[in-house]
Each structure stands twice: as C-alpha cells, then as structure tokens.
A and B are shown apart, each in its own frame.
Chain A
C-alpha cells in the first residue's frame, strides 16, 4: 500500500491550518480511509488538543525521529474513529529537533501504513515549514480572505512551485468566508482570492461559531452533521478522494423578519 502524503500549510499563522488538518483528517477517516495526522508544529503543538487526545500522548514525533520509540508506539488512536491516528509533536523541543531528510524518511514509512498522511505544517517559511514539506507529495494551502493572508499564501505557493518535482499538486482552501460581508463588498470574495493566487480551488469554508465550540471540546466539527463548516470539510475530503462535489452555496442568508424570528428560536448548539 502506498498512501498520499499531503501537507497543509499557509505561511501566515492563525488562518486555520490545524483546524483544517483535524477536520480533513476526521472526514477522510469517517469515509473509511486509514489516516495519519502528523503535527509538525514542534514546540507549539495544538493538533492533539483539537482532536481531544492530549491526555493520551506518551511518545511524540521527535521520539520517533530520535528512535527513542517505535512509530507504532507514538501513534495515538482517535477516540471515535479507529482508523484515524495522530502523531503528536514534541512540546518541550523546538523546530531544529527535526530536519527535512528525517521527515522524508518518516513520511516514506508512514505512507506504507496509511492511505492518507496529513502533515500539519507550522506557520512561517523557515525550518519547520521546510521539514513539513520535505516528505509531502501534495499540498493544501489554507488562506483567509484577507490581504495579508493571501500575500503569505502567495509566497508559500511560490516555495511549493520551486519543489515541483516532489510536490505534484497544490490546491487552495479559503477559510472563514463571511457571505454577508462579501455581499456588501466588505470582504474579498473567493473569486478575488483566486484571481490573485491563480491556483485550483479545493474548498471554501464559511466562518462558523461552532468551530470554536468544537475546538474547545476537542471534537472536530467534520464529525457533527448539521454545521456548515463541517459540511464544507466533508466536501473537501470527498474532493481529495477524487469525487466531484459542488461547492457549498454560500449566498448570504436573507435577514428577513421571518429569518430573524427563526434565528431567535434556534437553540445554540452546545
């Protein structure tokens, strides 16, 4: 078996790389594939918290690299999906603990074991990023519809293009879109972003308060049925698997008096 190694990166911090990693990984695993999520953000690990697996971490990525434990010992099985595994980052070390050659070797090993290997890259374009993309064959670039995030995404895409022989394709996820603001021209639209970056679009994820709830609960939103962001991530996973799924209809919800009343009576999801 030879799986696909996909790095999720953005350049800018805080645009939702880790959230995207957790959700894409969860959605892929929910559809039956075996998935390994690798947290590359050594020293600032978060992915285990988003997955709600923090208390199960015993060994980590750096222990594997330094051969203090076997790969199998370090992989943490997800609470809900048995075919979803997390390889957590080390918290008490820094990015220099891992180099690109070691990551290439590890990715080669991981893709023998899993259908999908999702690498959650750290922010920035320095050593940690270089290690994260070293073993990758595909990339997902996450951006938000803000000038600064788009600029950084552009820079990252440039760096990925320079590694063309290793990274066969890179696609874009536009995160935290607010349809109502796009409608009033207060926010860049997906089209605006695509015009600047001219890359293939993999998905659009709307801003959703449920993301914050799910992050704090340690349960990726892709696992809960009736959320728009969750649906968006499930669609992204389907597209990764090669299915042709239409993009979500993100036209703003009309704020008619009827809708306002409905909103008042809609219980807040816990």
Chain B
C-alpha cells in the first residue's frame, strides 16, 4: 500500500501528502523514492507538502528540506497538525501554512463545481461518488478525526476546553470532507528500469514503461506507449480496475489480487496490434483490444 499520496491540484500545483506515514523515517524514505522517480515531472512544479500529524524534530524537518532541495523543489506551503512539528518548521524560518484547521488544504477551484454536479467527478470506478471522497479525506487529512470529540461525548464541564482543542487539532470530519479532487497523476516521461510510480488514484503515463520499472495505482493505469515492465492496477483491491496501453509486452500484469505473467517463450503469432486493455474476467486477467467507445 502506498503511504504517500501525490495529488495534482489543477492550476495549483501538486500536493504531496506524507501524513499517512507512521514514522519520520518512513516518510523520508517514501519521499526520496518518490522524487527519484519521475524526476522531470517535478521540475517547475509548484508543490505543497502535507506533513499530517507526523511529529518532526528540527533535524528531521531539515532532512525533509534537504530531500526537496536535492530535486530543486521548494514547497510553497507546509501543512502540519502536530504542534512540535509546527515549532520545528518555525525554527527553520518556515511558517506553517495559515490554513483553517478545518480545511487542511485549500480546495482547488474546480471542487465547488464538482460538488454541484457530482457526476462530473472523475470517480474511481469501484463505487459512485462516495468512494473518492472518503479516500481523499483520509489522504489529505492524514488523520482520521477523533469521533468521540466530534460527537460531543465530552462532559459539559470540559466542553469549552474540548471546543478549543478541537479547533486546534481536529481535521475535517468525514461528512464535511473536502470534495474529491481530480484523482489522476499524469506522468510524461519514459519509466526506466528501477523506477516506480505509485499513486492513489488513476495513473496516466505518456511514454514507455521499460522492463524493471513498476507502475501501480489504486485506480486504472493508462499508458500512452509500450508496457514492457510491471503494471499493477487496483492495488487497494479494486477488481474493476483496468490497464490499457498502446502496446502490451509486459513481464507481469496485476489487477487487484490477480497476477498474469508473460509466456515463457515468446509466441510469434501473438502480435499485439493496436491499443489493448487488460481487465479481470471471471477471476483471471484477460487482454483484449481496446474498443473505441
């Protein structure tokens, strides 16, 4: 499972969310591997970084700054819920973003439109418009709001205190979660051996995926190029995910929990002609030519 979410915000750059990581070590590891991949993708890309409720010391934050600096990325804004982390940020002369605690990320402009007309939300195929909302709420907030506090189970005497702490620490209750952001990562480069891209939504690669490279997504994977490496769609278990590519020559295909491997001996008569789509049919992965709809 991915612990780091990359969310492209239209006209707002990219939000990198490492709030899902349990430890700082894990966060730095995921962060540097993310940058290792898709390196051209990050150039000139405005980036926001959500630290979620990770607790960072001054030095640990310096580490994260160093990883960013290595790629020439300067985050415009940092979000953090943990007081210690905010303190660490300030010691580096970085002011944590002055967002309202209730909205960890300023919602992109489109969002208001998409709430009005839910059918326009590019939802993950799994369920209706409900699923992406929950996923994005978790991903963006990086922590699940403490339900007992939100439900007002605290006694009357402490109610005021609770109210105050709530304002400081609690992030979006799920019901009023920020509406789904378009959940597609667009990567425009060839992926070479050893590179891997993992994303919580749909994934679009414009370029080839070479042997030894891995692409993984919770939604669909679309490759405008040749797939020669490994592609895994529906990593969270969504069996309706699809993988499509202009040319299929993969080492392995995985959709949810199904795995298909290439034949041991190349078959000369099985030339792929034109774009094809892989999906699960009766529990196994089938590849068929992509029909234009």
Contact indicator A79/B264 (Cβ below 8 Å): yes
Closest A residue to B252 using CB positions: A55
Closest B residue to A97 using CB positions: B29
Closest B residue to A53 using CB positions: B264
**Chain A interface residue bracket vs B:** 10 to 19
Chain A positions 91 through 126: 1 when the CB is less than 8 Å from some CB of chain B, otherwise 0: 110000000000000000000000000000000000
In the complex, which of the residues A52, A55, A91, A218 contacts B212, with contact meaning CB atoms closer than 8 Å? A91
Given contacts A55-B251, A55-B252, A58-B259, contact A92 B214 (CB under 8 A): yes
CB of A56 within 8 Å of the partner chain: yes
Given contacts A91-B212, A92-B214, contact A55 B261 (CB under 8 A): yes
The CA-CA distance from A58 to B33 in the complex, in Å, is 20
Contact indicator A91/B194 (Cβ below 8 Å): yes
Closest A residue to B195 using CB positions: A92
CB distance from A147 to the nearest CB of B (A): 31
The CA-CA distance from A91 to B214 in the complex, in Å, is 9
Chain A positions 56 through 75: 1 when the CB is less than 8 Å from some CB of chain B, otherwise 0: 11100000000000000000
Chain A positions 229 through 247: 1 when the CB is less than 8 Å from some CB of chain B, otherwise 0: 0000000000000000000
Given the complex, which residues of A lie within 8 Å of B259, measured CB to CB?
58
CB of B262 within 8 Å of the partner chain: yes
CB distance from A60 to the nearest CB of B (A): 11
Chain A positions 32 through 67: 1 when the CB is less than 8 Å from some CB of chain B, otherwise 0: 000000000001110000001011111000000000
Contact indicator A43/B194 (Cβ below 8 Å): yes
Contact indicator B262/A55 (Cβ below 8 Å): yes
Given contacts A91-B212, A92-B214, contact A54 B251 (CB under 8 A): yes
Given contacts A54-B251, A58-B259, contact A91 B193 (CB under 8 A): yes
- A45, A52, A57, A91 — most chain B CB neighbours (10 Å): A91
Closest B residue to A52 using CB positions: B264
| Residues 188-243 of A at the B interface (beta carbon under 8 Å) | 218
CB distance from B70 to the nearest CB of A (A): 15
Given the complex, which residues of A lie within 8 Å of B214, measured CB to CB?
91-92
Closest A residue to B259 using CB positions: A58
Given contacts A55-B262, A56-B261, A58-B259, contact A92 B251 (CB under 8 A): no
Closest B residue to A55 using CB positions: B261
Given the complex, which residues of B lie within 8 Å of A44, measured CB to CB?
194
The CA-CA distance from A57 to B252 in the complex, in Å, is 9
CB distance from B197 to the nearest CB of A (A): 10
Given the complex, which residues of A lie within 8 Å of B194, measured CB to CB?
43-44, 91-92
| Residues 108-155 of B at the A interface (beta carbon under 8 Å) | none
CB of B196 within 8 Å of the partner chain: yes
Closest A residue to B253 using CB positions: A55
The CA-CA distance from A52 to B259 in the complex, in Å, is 18
CB distance from B198 to the nearest CB of A (A): 10
CB distance from A20 to the nearest CB of B (A): 22
CB distance from A227 to the nearest CB of B (A): 20
| Residues 154-195 of B at the A interface (beta carbon under 8 Å) | 193-195
CB distance from A233 to the nearest CB of B (A): 22
The CA-CA distance from A43 to B194 in the complex, in Å, is 6
Given the complex, which residues of B lie within 8 Å of A56, measured CB to CB?
261
The CA-CA distance from A163 to B212 in the complex, in Å, is 34
CB distance from B38 to the nearest CB of A (A): 13
Given the complex, which residues of A lie within 8 Å of B212, measured CB to CB?
45, 91
Closest A residue to B193 using CB positions: A91
The CA-CA distance from A218 to B214 in the complex, in Å, is 21
Given the complex, which residues of A lie within 8 Å of B195, measured CB to CB?
92
| Residues 205-246 of B at the A interface (beta carbon under 8 Å) | 211-214
Contact indicator A55/B196 (Cβ below 8 Å): no
The CA-CA distance from A79 to B211 in the complex, in Å, is 21
Contact indicator A55/B264 (Cβ below 8 Å): yes
Given the complex, which residues of B lie within 8 Å of A45, measured CB to CB?
212
The CA-CA distance from A179 to B225 in the complex, in Å, is 47
Given the complex, which residues of A lie within 8 Å of B251, measured CB to CB?
54-55
Given the complex, which residues of A lie within 8 Å of B262, measured CB to CB?
55
Contact indicator B196/A92 (Cβ below 8 Å): yes
The CA-CA distance from A218 to B252 in the complex, in Å, is 17
3 A-B pairs with the lowest CB-CB distances in the bound complex, closest first: A55-B261, A92-B196, A55-B262
Other 5 A-B pairs with CB < 8 A, given A56-B261, A91-B193, A91-B194: A52-B264, A54-B251, A55-B251, A55-B262, A58-B259
